[in-house]
Chain A
């Protein structure tokens, strides 16, 4: 291992842009969920399943906010790849940071950084809920939760590589800027679908949506549908009506296909990449 791994984690997690947009900005919404949006749940405080209901409801909060935090941090990864491509090309040739070592250390460091920002949101929501409702959210399947967060991190890492390489390919500054923000745009899709129904298909087609449902399932013990999760919570979790949940196996299989396709796309884009004049890199 070289110092690259440690310094990459430090570089991402201490970058003011990352800290603001993926931690403080998302924390603001965590506070809104706990102290404004979620207060209606207190009317069930006398029910025996109140603790489970609080856990499940706020699992939707930290799963979606965690995804947004990861998406936001991924912008840093995309821009990092873009601005440092000259240094990467030099170092992988003429330093101990061989391509293989670079790939491994960059992946591990990026995953760790994405997990850190996601876990900050998870822990923040848990602490805020405990403070506001006196309920300590205890995930029913903590290992599954961690595993799902890692898979999500992988998804955003690969997405940042693909968008980073696409940004390197285009000469237009505006297009580059739009591509850098791709992961954040993507991370808001599952959030939006918490409130609207478009069936389970979306969860199989687009991994963050399916993974969000699975994360809620890892915490609550029940797997919700891929979309319209808030409605599921009201009608099914609280009132016991029947619902169709997402198939975890199918959702994971779809996610693996996406990871494979994006991994191949990233490698192919990189292989075809042409050198960019450093003045273009900013």
Chain B
């Protein structure tokens, strides 16, 4: 215990004390080169109950996690961010175990609102605090927030939870992008944003220079703007893919196992195939939440 107090005390970094040999360190030599999030047979959840089971994926470059609401996209991100527990397998961020990472500023940025619910402060001070702790660029964050309709005065007047849902999403997304982290996770960054700000936020994300950027969404229309990105489909706590967004754009959903399927997905008692050139075009669903309705109609 005494050997590894910083990891052990408060259990903030990993559920179990680690021996000095397995003590994680910030791999400075890999920064700017590795930039990858690896999940190996990872089971992630809360209060001892996994939501995702035995998930494996390599998230590198620009990645979309596309799945209906409740599929486990947010839980996956929480697992990577250390907010949800990893029960088995491992999650590595640039080679550092997410469960055992300690004080690794610059490794990961997230827009999960709960990650910003720390103290009773106005939004401006929250931003100041987080940019200080994450090593982010407050000047950039304020400039972008202004463009998204969140001026300094408004931030000083309101606590984060007093912002509208869309404003809070914009706030946390900008904070994540301004964090200068090598890997950034954005959970539903466009949810409840008004259309004008949605377009601005999308441009902002496209311009990001970060190494790995993972965007979770249920909105299939986004694929049109993110053609060069890789997509993992998420259903019922499992991942399928990866597959290029461009390829998905020309695909449709059909019930059952199709011989010409590019992906076969089994979830919630349904078997569906993604096939090129036929079926209900994925893009026409607008939101993947509608996929089950389509499958029910087909039945």
| A joins B in a complex | yes
Interface positions of A (Cβ within 8 A of B)? 2-4, 7-8, 10-12, 14-15, 80, 83-84, 86-103, 171, 266-267, 270-278, 281
Q: B107 at the A/B interface (Cβ < 8 Å)?
A: yes
The 8 closest A-B pairs by CB, nearest first: A98-B103, A11-B119, A95-B133, A271-B11, A86-B114, A278-B114, A92-B12, A93-B101
Which residues, 54 to 70 on B, are CB-close (under 8 Å) to A?
Answer: none
Nearest-CB residue, chain A, relative to B99: A93
Contact A3 B133 (CB under 8 A): yes
Contact status B9-A99, CB under 8 Å? yes
Task: Tell me the nearest residue of chain B to A168, going by C-beta.
Answer: B47
Closest residue of B by beta carbon distance from A109: B119
Check if A80 sits within 8 Å of B119, measured CB to CB.
yes
Given A91-B115, A93-B12: 20 more A-B contacts, CB < 8 Å = A3-B132, A7-B125, A7-B129, A8-B119, A11-B120, A83-B117, A86-B112, A87-B116, A90-B81, A90-B82, A92-B13, A99-B12, A100-B6, A100-B103, A101-B103, A102-B10, A102-B12, A273-B15, A275-B84, A276-B46
- Contact sample, A vs B, 23 pairs, CB 8 Å cutoff: A3-B128, A3-B132, A7-B129, A14-B120, A80-B119, A84-B119, A86-B112, A89-B12, A90-B81, A92-B10, A92-B82, A92-B103, A93-B102, A94-B104, A94-B109, A99-B10, A99-B13, A103-B10, A270-B10, A271-B16, A273-B15, A275-B46, A278-B114
Interface residues of B (CB under 8 A from A): 5-13, 15-17, 45-48, 78, 81-85, 98, 101-105, 107-110, 112-121, 125, 128-130, 132-135, 181
Name the A residues within 8 Å of B102 (CB-CB): 92-93, 98-99
Chain A residues with Cβ below 8 Å from B135 are 95-96
Given that A276-B46, A276-B47 are contacting pairs, would A94 and B120 also be in contact in the complex, using a CB cutoff of 8 Å? no
Nearest CB of A to B299, in Å: 32
Given that A84-B119, A90-B82 are known contacts, is A4 also in contact with B9, CB under 8 Å in the complex?
A: no
Determine the distance from Cα of A279 to Cα of B220 in the docked complex, in whole angstroms. 26
Instruction: Give B46 Cβ to nearest chain A Cβ, in Å.
Output: 4
Residues of B within 8 A of A90 (CB): 81-83, 110, 112, 115
Closest to A272 in B: B11
Shortest CB–CB separation between residue A23 and chain B, in angstroms? 15
A278 and B120 form a contact (CB under 8 A): no
A2 to B134: give the CA distance in the assembly, Å: 11
Which residue from B12, B16, B103, B128 sits with its C-beta under 8 Å from A270?
Answer: B12
**Chain A residue contacts of B17, Cβ below 8 A:** 271
In the assembly, what is the distance between CA of A11 and CA of B117, in Å? 12
Q: Are B6 and A277 in contact (CB under 8 A)?
A: no
A225 to B47, CA, bound (A): 47
Is B98 a contact partner of A4 (Cβ separation < 8 A)?
no
Q: Are A271 and B119 in contact (CB under 8 A)?
A: no
CB-CB under 8 A for A94 and B12, given A7-B119, A86-B115, A278-B114: no
On whether A274 and B103 interact (CB within 8 A), knowing A15-B120, A90-B82, the answer reads no
Contact A94 B84 (CB under 8 A): no
Residues in chain B near residue A277, CB distance under 8 A: 46-47
* B243: min CB distance to chain A, Å: 29
Partner of A171, one of B47, B104, B109: B47
Which residues on B sit within 8 Å (CB–CB) of A10?
119, 121, 125
Cα distance, A15 to B5, chains bound together (Å): 32
A88 contact set on B, CB distance < 8 A? 12, 118
Residues on the A chain within 8 Å of B10, using CB: 92, 99, 102-103, 266-267, 270-271
**Closest beta carbon of chain B to A173's beta carbon, Å:** 14
Closest to A6 in B: B129
- B103–A275 touching, CB < 8 Å: no
Task: Give the nearest-CB partner of A100 in chain B.
Answer: B6
Q: Which of B84, B107, B117, B133 contacts A4 (CB 8 A)?
A: B133
Q: How far is the CA of A10 from the CA of B128 in the complex (A)?
A: 14
Q: Cβ of B83 and Cβ of A98 under 8 Å apart?
A: no
B129 and A3 within 8 A (CB): yes
CB nearest neighbor in B for A97 = B133
- CB pair B85 A11 closer than 8 Å: no
Query: For the complex, what is the distance from the CA of A14 to the CA of B121, rounded to whole Å?
Result: 9
Compute how far the CA of A2 lies from the CA of B132 in the bound complex, rounded to whole angstroms: 7
A93 contacts B128, CB within 8 Å? no
Contacting residues, chain A, for B129 (C-beta < 8 A): 3-4, 7
Residues of A close to B130: CB separation below 8 A: 95
Question: Which single residue of chain B is at the shortest CB-CB distance from A12?
Answer: B120
Tell me the smallest distance from the CB of A119 to a CB of chain B, in Å.
21
Provide the residues of chain B in CB contact with A87, threshold 8 Å.
114-118
Q: How far is the CA of A165 from the CA of B197 in the complex (A)?
A: 40
Cα distance A8–B133 when bound, in Å? Answer: 14
- Nearest opposing residue in chain A for B132, CB measure: A3
In the complex formed, the residue of A with least CB distance to B5 is: A100
Nearest A-chain residue to B15, judged by Cβ: A271
**CB-nearest residue of chain A relative to B113?**
A278
Complex: chain A residue closest to B86, CB-CB: A275
Query: What are the residues of chain A within 8 A of B114 when measuring CB–CB?
Result: 86-87, 278, 281
Chain A residues contacting B128 (CB-CB under 8 Å) are: 3
CB neighbours of A98 from chain B (8 A): 6, 102-103
